Amino acid sequence: MRAWFFLAALVTVPAWAGEDSREMNAVSNAWDRYAQASSQNQEEAASLLSEDSKAHYFFMRDAALYASVEQVRRVPYPDRVLVYALRATQDLPQLQALADGVAVARLCTREGWCGVAADEGDELPTLAHVTLMETDGAIGELGPPTGTQFQFGPEFVREDGQWKVKPESLVADESAGIQAQIARTGMTENQMLQFLIGHLLGEKRVAPELMALERPLIDDAAARSQLNERWPDYKSTYRSRIKAIGVKADQGDSFAQFVLGSLLASGSLPEFVAKDEPRGWKLLEQASDAGNSEAAWYVFMNTMSDKTKYTDATLRRARVHLQRAASAAKPEAMNALGGFYFEGVGGLERDCRQAAQWQARAEEAGLALARNEQVWTWATCPIPGQRDPAKAVQLASYMASTRDTLAASELDTVAAAYAAAGNFAEALVFQKLALDKLDSGTSEVDKQAVVPTRKRMQARLRGYGEGRDYVQDYNTFEEIMEGRY
C-alpha cells in the first residue's frame, strides 16, 4: 500500500563522509529512484525491487486468489487493502495472468496502489541517514532520531551489485499508522478499510462491500495451506532495525547504545533480542559517558538498586551518572542529587543550600515529593549557618494543610519543621500522626526500615516533648553500609 498515507515528507539532504559514504549514497540514490518512479506510477519501479519484494508481491496475488476470510484478516492492513484491491479490479483470468511478482508490482504501481508519493505541495521523502549492515544489507532513516526513537524507513539489499528496495519492510509501520487513525477517528476497522479501498480505487470505480472482498476467488484447501507455509515474516523488519541499532552502537552512537542497552538489560523484547544484562549495562554506561542523560539515570538507578553493595566507590561512581542526569533537568535525578548533597556522599561536600536548590528545581519540574525533601533539608540541616527553620515552616505549611493525605515520612518532616521553629505543640501533633501512620500497615516505608525508622521517630517525639528540636545526626548511606538501616 502506498506509503504516502503515513510517511511524512522529510526532506533532509544527507551528507555522508567516510569509507562507507559511496555505498550509503548508492542506497540513498536507489531510494530516490524508486520514490520518483513509483510516485509517477511508472512500471520501472518494479525493476528496483529486491527478489524478496517480488516474492512478496506474488504472495499478495496468491492471497487474492486463495486466502480465506480468516487468512485475509491476518494480513496487516496495508497488504490486506492491496488484496482487496486486486479482488475488486481483477477477475480470475486477469489474476492468473499475473505470472510473477514483477507483474503484480507493475500493476500495483501503474494503478497507484503501491510505492511512495508526497501529499500535494510536499516533496518526496528522502533518506536522512543509511546504516550498512554486514555485506549486502542496509536500512534507511527518514529523519533524525526524535529523542525517544529512530525514524527507521525502508530496508535495502544489494543484488548483482545494485541496491534494491524492500518496500514490504514498511508494512508494519503503515499498519500501525492505520491502527492509530482508527483510534483517532473513532471509525471501526471495517469502516476504515472500506474507506481505504475506495481511496485506492478512485472516483471512477465503485468499491465493492468489504464482505464480498473477503471471499476467495478459488476455494482450494491445498493452496490455503501453502499460503500458511509462505506467510511473510512481517516482524523481520524489527530484527533488522535492532541489528542496525547494534551497528550504530558499535560506531559510538550514544542514543543507539541507550536503546540497545535498555533492551538487553531489561529483556523487554525477547522475541527480537535476548536478555543480556552485563552487555546491556555496559552499553548504557557507555551511552551515559557519551552524554545521554536517560542512560545516565538508568545507570544511577541500577548502581543504587542493591543496598548491600554500597561502598564509597559505588556512591562516587553513581554520583557521576546522577549529576549528568540532573544537569539534563530530569526531576527525579535533581531530587536525588539534592539528597547526595544533603548527606555529603559520592565525593560531594555536605551542602544544604545546594541540596535544597536541586530539590526545589525538582519540585518546579513537577516532582511533588521533592517538597518534602526541601523541608527536611531546611529543618534538620546539621550545618548551623545553613539551617533555615523559617523557610522550612513556610514550605511545610501547605503540607500541613493536607495532613490527611500525607505519608508517615511527610508527617515526620512537618513535625521537624515546626520543632525547628520552636512550635513544639504542633511538632508533637504531627509526630504522633507520623507514628500512627507508620504503625497502620499502610506506610510507604520499606519493611526492613520500619524498625529503625520507628526508633528515630520515637526519639524525635521524646525530644519535642522536652522542647528539643531535631538535627539529623547521622549519614543515611553510612547507616546502610553498616547494616543499621
Given this model, what pLDDT does residue 14 score?
37
Amino acid identity for residue 464 in this structure = Y
Running along the chain, 485 residues long, what does each successive block of 10 average in pLDDT? Answer: 33 42 94 95 95 98 98 97 97 97 97 82 88 92 92 96 97 95 96 95 91 95 98 96 96 96 96 96 98 97 94 97 98 98 97 98 98 98 96 98 94 98 98 93 73 92 97 91 81
Domains delineated in the chain? 3-229 (no CATH), 252-368 (1.25.40.10), 382-485 (no CATH)
Measure the CA–CA gap between 168 and 57, rounded to whole angstroms. Answer: 9
Q: What is the CA radius of gyration of the chain?
A: 31
Measure the CA–CA gap between 242 and 255, rounded to whole angstroms. Answer: 13
Given this model, what pLDDT does residue 443 score?
66
Measure the CA–CA gap between 62 and 124, rounded to whole angstroms. Answer: 31
Q: For residues 444 and 407, is the Cβ–Cβ distance under 8 A? A: yes
CB count in 10 Å sphere of residue 374? 24
Measure the CA–CA gap between 86 and 57, rounded to whole angstroms. Answer: 11
Given this model, what pLDDT does residue 20 score?
72
For 114, the grid coordinates are: 503501491
For 112, the grid coordinates are: 497507484
Closest CA to 87 of 227, 218, 231, 228: 218
For 87, the grid coordinates are: 479482488
Closest CA to 66 of 233, 235, 229, 236: 229
Q: For residues 67 and 216, is the Cβ–Cβ distance under 8 A? A: yes
Strand ranges across the sheet with 129-133: 129-133, 137-141, 152-159, 162-166
Given this model, what pLDDT does residue 290 score?
97
Closest CA to 4 of 167, 191, 137: 167
Instruction: Please state the length of the chain.
Output: 485
Q: What is the pTM of this model?
A: 0.85
Using alpha carbons, list the distances in angstroms from residue 451 to 23, 415, 448.
66, 19, 7
- Dihedral sign for Cα 24, 26, 29, 34, please: negative
Given this model, what pLDDT does residue 121 score?
57
Measure the CA–CA gap between 359 and 338, rounded to whole angstroms. Answer: 5
CA 6 to centroid of chain Cα atoms: 20
Measure the CA–CA gap between 371 and 378, rounded to whole angstroms. Answer: 11
Annotate 26-47 with b (16+ C-beta within 10 A) or e (fewer). Answer: bbbebbebbbbbbbebebebbe
Angle of the 370-380 helix axis to the 352-364 helix axis, nearest 10? 160
DSSP per-residue string spanning 184-240: HH---HHHHHHHHHHHHH-TTSPPPPHHHHTS-SS--HHHHHHHHHT---TTHHHHH
Closest CA to 242 of 277, 280, 278: 280
Q: For residues 190 and 19, is the Cβ–Cβ distance under 8 A? A: no
